[in-house]
Amino acid sequence: MQLNSIKPAAGAKHAKRRVGRGIGSGLGKTAGRGHKGQKSRAGGYHKVGFEGGQMPLQRRLPKRGFKSQSLKFNAEVRLGDLQRLESAEIDLLTLKQAGLVGELVRNAKVIAAGELSRKVVLKGVSATAGAKKAIEAAGGSVAE
């Protein structure tokens, strides 16, 4: 085989459709655009969702729902989750490594849910008033 003798497989290539080249082509006269109207003319254009002046669907439907993007970056951690961790000093990196918060999380807050019976020291992680009380009662501290 030579480079100059390589050809595409039979039927892989076909001629481009030539519109507006006479009645015999099957696409003569109107060139497949039909008769009259905006879309039959050169430069005929309407924006996406345009319904000919009728109120478009996206404006007829009511607006509802919203999902805050801040949910991605803020996380809650329960006291019961802290009980299961091995380390005594807990910061955001420790929580990420344990899989308690997502990788994108920037702020974590401990909430008073579950039991805590061992001493833990929170660093760079905030806590609710109830959680702070429970941590201090177990001999730990919260340093934000």
Please give the domain boundaries of the chain with CATH numbers for all domains: 69-143 (3.100.10.10)
Q: Which DSSP letter does residue 48 get?
A: T
CA distance 37 to 134: 74
So what's the pLDDT on residue 71?
A: 80
Confidence of residue 67 (pLDDT cuts 50, 70, 90): confident
3-state secondary structure of 88: coil
Side-chain half-sphere CA neighbours of 99 within 13 A: 1
Confidence of residue 93 (pLDDT cuts 50, 70, 90): very high
Give the model confidence (pLDDT) of 13-54 as tens digits.
Answer: 999 999 999 999 999 999 999 999 888 999 877 889 999 899
Query: Which has the higher per-residue pLDDT, 135 or 1?
Result: 135
Tokens of 73: 């970056």
* Cβ atoms of residues 26 and 18 within 8 Å: no
> 89 pairs with which residues across the strands?
121
For the whole model, what pTM was predicted?
0.53
CA distance 30 to 32: 6
